[in-house]
Amino acid sequence: MKLVIFSLILSIYSISLFSQELQIKNIYIDNQRVFEPDDKDWFFGAQFMNFFHKTTHKYVIKDELLFYPNSTTDEDYIYETERNLRQTDLFSSVKIEFDSLGYNTYDAYIITKDRWSLYPSIPFGTGGGEYVYGAKIDEYNLFGTGTYLKLEALHRSENNIGWQGQVQIRNKRIFRTPFLFDFMLTSHQYKTIQNLSLYKPYINLDTRYSYGVIALNGFGSNFVYTPDSNMNIVPYQEQNIKAFFSKSWFRNDRIFANFAIEVNNSDRSSDKLRLAYDNSGKFLLMFSSVSQKFYPIKNINYYHTEDMPIGGYGSATLGKIFPIESKNGDNLYYVGGQGEISYYKDNLYLFGQLTGASGFWHSQGQYTYQEFLGLGFLRFSNSLLLAARFNQQTVWNWTAYRQLLLDNTRGLRGYELNRLAGDNRIISNIELRYFPDIPIWVINLSGVLFADIGTVWNQDKKIFDTQFYSSVGAGIRLHFTKSANPSQTIRIDFAYNTYDKKFGGIIISTKQLFSAFGNHDYKLPEVFGTTNDIE
């Protein structure tokens, strides 16, 4: 084993010096259990815990490999394989090591360590004057197959919803095919929502085609909020289905040609509550490109290693919107565009995304939308950084119903849920994050000082006339060291509401409020600006 580790140090850091390609003789997979005797957190009950976790099947790992026995590869495929294995969310650590056999020939060792995957819990959360409690089971690696299963029953005080149930099952390679399957059912006394996705994604940089369908079925009642903080319960039903096909070229600076057709059928009970593009079909043609390099980085959002992309993304979309049968749909042409760029140097990271889109008919604009998202961080040391997020969304000529909320859930900590609503929104968050790296058994702690500021306003009002709201506070994060899943981090924040000049309560949730860096991902064709905050 010492020879293997020594060979890794020599090969990983010197591959590009002596050869652009490696000859792989054999591949050995070493998939370690969650708890191993040489782990720092091994304890008397570790073997008992391992009994309740089925170690990931080796075929799940093999399906992600981009190099094979008795073949050649290069460092790009090696690093991409590591990234893909980390992105499965099945392992707490991933390493690829090499043992030289001479004459530029190597044995490859894929070393993974399973993360704990079964999370029975009694969730409890507070914030914005509301609370939630219940029971939940998350299994991220069902029977070692890489399948995610979620069973949840929550009691929600928000809008007197009461008990809500949710079931979700997802597999990124259903039956070992390249197809992703995801089904989710959510239901409470007011509404039921069913989501289904079955499609072939871009699994790696050599994947040339992506296609599939995404469907939604919802019925029941929605919550509609007014500026005077009143809430109305309005019946609705909606069905939406999208089919798409995409072709890509090149490996690093990738180019995509994308086509999608989407059909919507809705009944909102009132024309005043009709959403943009309800009861409409969409033909969308999009051309896009993405270029990025990845930097493994830690102590930015979490303690575990994350792959931070640096590069850019751009897309241009043309489309035709048409009414479905005799219903009150839209008849428009559509044009949209989105651009992203990121920068990283000397511990400074910046990310910017700009989106613009509009429908039009005879030179008359309708549903015009503009959005900017900015992310960034400045790292003072390995354990201390300043992270920030800024998001602005604005519409013009938006004749359909639109509802954006500003509250604890949307990033303004210390404010009541659903209290502030409007057509447009600005939210900004600044956090000073500290990662002392002092693990206590399987828990590691980090701390945060934060400031939030934001506003919402309607189209008929100027931004300079709107009221801005802010809050400040501090928080702690409890990171589970046996998992690289952000959902296994508990977030506890103590917020002070500076507008009402009062303590805004204790917020208990999961994940960081926002990621300090963005992702330049491939995106499906879509019409921008249709997001509505219902609850």
Task: Mark out the alpha helices in 133-220 (DSSP H runs).
Answer: none
Which pLDDT band, with edges at 50, 70 and 90, does 36 fall under?
confident
The pLDDT assigned to 16 comes to: 41
Instruction: Provide the percentage of residues in the chain whose pLDDT is more than 70.
Output: 93
pLDDT of residue 442: 84
Residue 243 has pLDDT above 80, yes or no: yes
**Joined tokens for residue 222:** 């929605």
Spatial strand order of the sheet with 71-73 comes to 71-73, 22-32, 105-114, 91-102
What three-state secondary structure class fits 301? coil
Measured CA to CA, the distance from residue 108 to residue 13 in angstroms comes to 15
pLDDT value, residue 448: 98
Cα gap 525→427, rounded to integer Å: 26
From the CB of residue 220, how many other CB atoms can be counted at a distance below 10 Å? 15
* Helix/strand/coil (H/E/C) assignment for every residue in 45-92: CHHHHHHCCCCCCHHHHHCCCCCCCCEEECHHHHHHHHHHHHHCCCEE
Whose structure tokens read 């051309």? 287
**pLDDT at residue 4, as a whole number:** 39
pTM of the complete model beyond 0.85: no
**Over 90: is that where the pLDDT of 228 sits?**
no
Instruction: Give pLDDT tens digits for 279-300.
Output: 999 999 999 999 999 899 999 9
Mean pLDDT is highest, among 204-213, 270-279, 408-417, 475-484, for 204-213
Cβ distance 240 to 264 under 8 Å? yes
Each residue's pLDDT tens digit, 447-485: 999 999 999 999 988 888 899 999 999 999 999 887 777
Q: Can you tell me the distance from the alpha carbon of 129 to that of 419, in angstroms, rounded to the nearest whole number?
A: 10
DSSP string, 89-116: T-EEEEEEEEEEEETTEEEEEEEEEEPP
For residues 98, 100, 103 and 105, what is the CA-based torsion angle, rounded to 10 degrees? -40
Residue 159 CA, distance from chain mean position: 27
